Amino acid sequence: MKTTKLLLITICAIMVSISAFADDTGYYQVPVGARDVLVAMKTTVHHGRFEGDFIAELSLDEIEVLRNNGFEVKPVSDNYLLDELGIGHKPGTDDWHTYQEMRDGFYDLAANYPDITLLEVLGYSVQNRELFALKISANPLIEEDEPEVVFWGGIHGNEFTAAEVPYLHALYLCHNYGTNPAITEYIDNNEIWCIPMINPDGHELGTRNNANGIDLNRDYGYQWDGWGSSWYPFSQVESRVVREFCMENNITLSTTVHCSGDVLFYQWGFSPNTAPDNNLIVRVGERYSDAASYALVNSWSDYETHGEVLDYVYGSHGALCYTVETNNWSSQVQYTYERNQAGMNNFCELAGEGLHGMVTDAQSGDPLWAAVWIEGNPIPAYTDPSLGDFHRMMLPGTYDLTVWANGYQPETVTGVVVEFGVPGEFDVELTPSGGEYAFMVTSVNQEDPNNAYNTITYPAWALGAPDDLPCSIGSGGFIVLDMGEGHEIVDGNGNDFTVTEWDHPRDPGPETYRVYSGDAYNQNTLIGEATGTASFDLSTAGVTSTRYLKITDASGSSPNFPLAGMDLDAITVINSGIAVAGGIVAEVSIPAEVEISVYPNPFNPTTVLRFKLQDASLVSLNVYDIPGRLVTELVNGWRDAGVHEVAFDGSNIASGIYLYKLEAGEFTASGQMVLMK
């Protein structure tokens, strides 16, 4: 026995030293007075304190800088690393689940609860592990007019309990459906997403960062600033998957779980300025933090960070998002989960409070991906692109809204009343043939957002038509704007778009900037450079179309003007994907997504897949097993518009989950069916 124990201690000690000093960095206690020095170095500091000090990850160079500035730096004790940060622990040897166990657990849930779950693999990690998600909702295969509540975990791989909380909550929700009336209601009325492991490689490697050594919670686009070794906004495949999830699903309320501490953090992380929705954010946050007995703390006041998912979800999508910090003790996994359970339930109960609307095309009735601006709020929120439904939490009050989809005339709705328990309802039909402008902020780095004048300009002020309200991107900053799906700028006759730069009386005059084209993640093609308002021609760079534009400040001016750097008022599209040369809007039909359903499901041994096409299309419908092997090809060829049915016979295959995937023209739909013999 004695030998075994000694051996274990030795192994732990070796693991600690390897983890702590990989890449020349280790964990140190640093006085909180060193904050400005740490921020200037973009140092990673863990949320929470130890003996009143910061816990910082420091390289030898950073230690030297701190000591030269007169700050005491001392290594953190091994016990702290083991107990608080989980350094040296491995899941699977204790109460934490491994990646494989958690993944298989979700596949089992999907098989056992097909009426309320949909398993989706959102993408793959650097080392090709699945980024699996479970949608928990009645009628899970179809998009319904319901708020979407998201529980993310495991963005930092070695924060093991952070993955357990959303995982265990998925089990809890499924097990209590139909028996616990409150849980049944949450599942019937919301689309709840549990996504426990956004960084499965880090989880398996026991590292905070992903397999490329990047801190994924510094890789998001909103006020990204190169923290955590991030190469550029959304440089990692795992953060791209999260962004694409946010683009496809209109999140209403979300949490991202971390370790360690007993804290709920709220916006902003990058700036000391108060978030526009601060009252709402605090009131909603209290319903979680009170239930969990956690402190509710402003993230920046704890420590400054740039590129967190917290700021991205709120800043780019206008949706609520909180960072939960739980302890990271293997022996307390169940206790820690249960401590968070009531807060998560409260969020499911609250998500329907606020504004609820539907935005459609006045002529075709098709759902629209629209921006909704609440009067006085500088950050728009968006409808769900597949259904046009809108859910935005708001405190009781009376609101005026401006609803706008790219290429449509904006509509104003006044006097929408929100009460506790009674959403403020609005339905808007938008008329086509409006102008096209920038539609969403993908990434932004407003250098010196808190310059000496503390002039706050919001990135979203660069969206929509010119209105004399600019986003000043600061001296050396940049912004990446999305024109929206189907609204790419195309190379037509002459100039293709105009950049409106706004000038402030105390600016140094019109400022210089560069414009680049590309996709959401790389914008490397220089279209041109200009000073002040100017129009650009894509053909000068040999570009035929672009959905994204990046504007970088090239003024070379001082950061200390009230509106430092280039002041971007708007981007006006001249030639777009839906316009023809000469500016006449072409007749376009945007087909709705395909729909598919399976009945019966589960089945034995036959079932029927039923799908609906808006237009005649080239269709393929295949069935796969869980490892992704093709089981059978059900359809492969042209099909007319309308409803089609095809039978599937499972007589010759084993019981289990099978996936079907329908591709019709540019649209795809997929789901799962369960054969139970």
Name the site residues for Ca ion (rule: CB under 5 A). Answer: 137-139, 144, 461, 467, 469, 491, 496, 507, 537, 539, 563, 567, 569-570
Least distance between Zn ion and beta carbon 219 (Å): 13
Residue 326 or 672 with smaller CB distance to Zn ion: 326
H/E stretch holding 602 reads none
Integer Cα distance of 294 and 592 in angstroms:
44
Least distance between Ca ion and beta carbon 528 (Å): 12
Least distance between Zn ion and beta carbon 200 (Å): 15
Residue 148 or 204 with smaller CB distance to Ca ion: 148
> Contacts by 554-557 with C-beta closer than 8 Å and gap 24+?
554/512, 554/513, 554/514, 554/529, 555/475, 555/508, 555/511, 555/512, 555/513, 556/475, 556/512, 557/475, 557/508, 557/511
Integer Cα distance of 657 and 359 in angstroms:
36
User: What, of Zn ion, Ca ion, none, does residue 537 touch, CB below 5 to 8 Å by kind?
Assistant: Ca ion
- Out of 89, 103, 129, 156, the only residue in the binding site for Zn ion (CB under 5 A) is 156
Phi, psi of 181 (to 5 degrees): -60, -40
Least distance between Ca ion and beta carbon 537 (Å): 4
Residue 38 or 183 with smaller CB distance to Zn ion: 38
Residue 471 or 613 with smaller CB distance to Ca ion: 471
User: Both tokens of residue 140?
Assistant: 């899970």
Residue 156 or 550 with smaller CB distance to Zn ion: 156
Asked if residue 218 binds Zn ion (CB under 5 A), the reply is no
H/E stretch holding 381 reads strand 381-382
H/E stretch holding 566 reads none
Integer Cα distance of 416 and 413 in angstroms:
7
Alpha carbon separation from 14 to 19, 21, 26, 74, 87 (Å, rounded)? 9, 11, 14, 20, 11
Using Cβ positions, the residue closest to Ca ion within the complex turns out to be 137
In whole angstroms, how large is the CA radius of gyration of the chain? 26
The pairing of beta strand 191-195 with beta strand 130-136 = antiparallel
User: What, of Zn ion, Ca ion, none, does residue 490 touch, CB below 5 to 8 Å by kind?
Assistant: none
User: Both tokens of residue 159?
Assistant: 């924060």
User: Both tokens of residue 543?
Assistant: 């570009």
User: What, of Ca ion, Zn ion, none, does residue 144 touch, CB below 5 to 8 Å by kind?
Assistant: Ca ion
User: What, of Ca ion, Zn ion, none, does residue 655 touch, CB below 5 to 8 Å by kind?
Assistant: none
Least distance between Zn ion and beta carbon 195 (Å): 15
Least distance between Ca ion and beta carbon 341 (Å): 21
Residue 277 or 507 with smaller CB distance to Ca ion: 507
Least distance between Ca ion and beta carbon 45 (Å): 32
Piece in contact with Zn ion (CB under 5 A), picked from 13-21, 153-161, 186-194, 341-349? 153-161
Residue 461 or 548 with smaller CB distance to Ca ion: 461
Residue 570 or 675 with smaller CB distance to Ca ion: 570
Give the distance, in angstroms, between the CA of residue 514 and the centroid of all CA atoms in the same chain. 28
Residue 205 or 541 with smaller CB distance to Ca ion: 541
Cis preceding linkage at 268, omega within 30: yes
Piece in contact with Zn ion (CB under 5 A), picked from 71-79, 151-159, 537-545, 641-649? 151-159
Piece in contact with Zn ion (CB under 5 A), picked from 154-162, 267-275, 499-507, 549-557? 154-162
Using Cβ positions, the residue closest to Zn ion within the complex turns out to be 258
Q: Give the count of beta carbons closer than 10 Å to the beta carbon of residue 301.
A: 9
Least distance between Ca ion and beta carbon 561 (Å): 6
Cis preceding linkage at 466, omega within 30: no
Using an 8 Å Cβ cutoff, are 100 and 167 in contact?
A: no
Q: SS3 letters for 401-448?
A: EEEECCCECCEEEEEEEEECCECEEEEEEECECCCCECCEEEEEECCC
At a CB cut-off of 8 Å and minimum separation 6, what does 223 contact?
268, 270, 271, 306, 307, 311, 315, 444, 445, 446, 449
The pairing of beta strand 148-152 with beta strand 191-195 = parallel
User: What, of Ca ion, Zn ion, none, does residue 659 touch, CB below 5 to 8 Å by kind?
Assistant: none
Size of the site for Zn ion (CB under 5 A): 3
Cis preceding linkage at 600, omega within 30: yes
User: What, of Zn ion, Ca ion, none, does residue 258 touch, CB below 5 to 8 Å by kind?
Assistant: Zn ion
In the shown chain, the binding pattern of residues 606 to 625 toward Zn ion, with x for contact by CB under 5 A and - for none, equals --------------------
Phi, psi of 390 (to 5 degrees): -130, 130
User: What, of Zn ion, Ca ion, none, does residue 507 touch, CB below 5 to 8 Å by kind?
Assistant: Ca ion
Residue 120 or 159 with smaller CB distance to Zn ion: 159
Alpha carbon separation from 218 to 81, 125, 155, 166, 305 (Å, rounded)? 22, 17, 10, 21, 7
Residue 218 or 258 with smaller CB distance to Zn ion: 258
User: What, of Zn ion, Ca ion, none, does residue 491 touch, CB below 5 to 8 Å by kind?
Assistant: Ca ion
Least distance between Ca ion and beta carbon 461 (Å): 5
Piece in contact with Zn ion (CB under 5 A), picked from 113-121, 149-157, 420-428, 460-468? 149-157
User: What, of Zn ion, Ca ion, none, does residue 567 touch, CB below 5 to 8 Å by kind?
Assistant: Ca ion
Integer Cα distance of 657 and 672 in angstroms:
7
Residues tagged active-site: 325
Residue 159 or 204 with smaller CB distance to Zn ion: 159
Using an 8 Å Cβ cutoff, are 310 and 255 in contact?
A: no
Can you count the helices (H) and strands (E) in the chain? Answer: 13, 37
Least distance between Zn ion and beta carbon 91 (Å): 16
Query: By CB neighbour count within 10 A (0-12 exposed, 13-18 middle, 19+ buried), where does 543 fall?
Result: buried
Q: Residue 645 forms beta bridges with which residues? A: 610
In the shown chain, the binding pattern of residues 243 to 282 toward Zn ion, with x for contact by CB under 5 A and - for none, equals ---------------x------------------------
User: What, of Zn ion, Ca ion, none, does residue 156 touch, CB below 5 to 8 Å by kind?
Assistant: Zn ion
At a CB cut-off of 8 Å and minimum separation 6, what does 593 contact?
386, 667, 669
Least distance between Ca ion and beta carbon 551 (Å): 13
Least distance between Zn ion and beta carbon 98 (Å): 19
User: Both tokens of residue 127?
Assistant: 């080392």
| Site of interaction with Zn ion (CB under 5 A) | 156, 159, 258
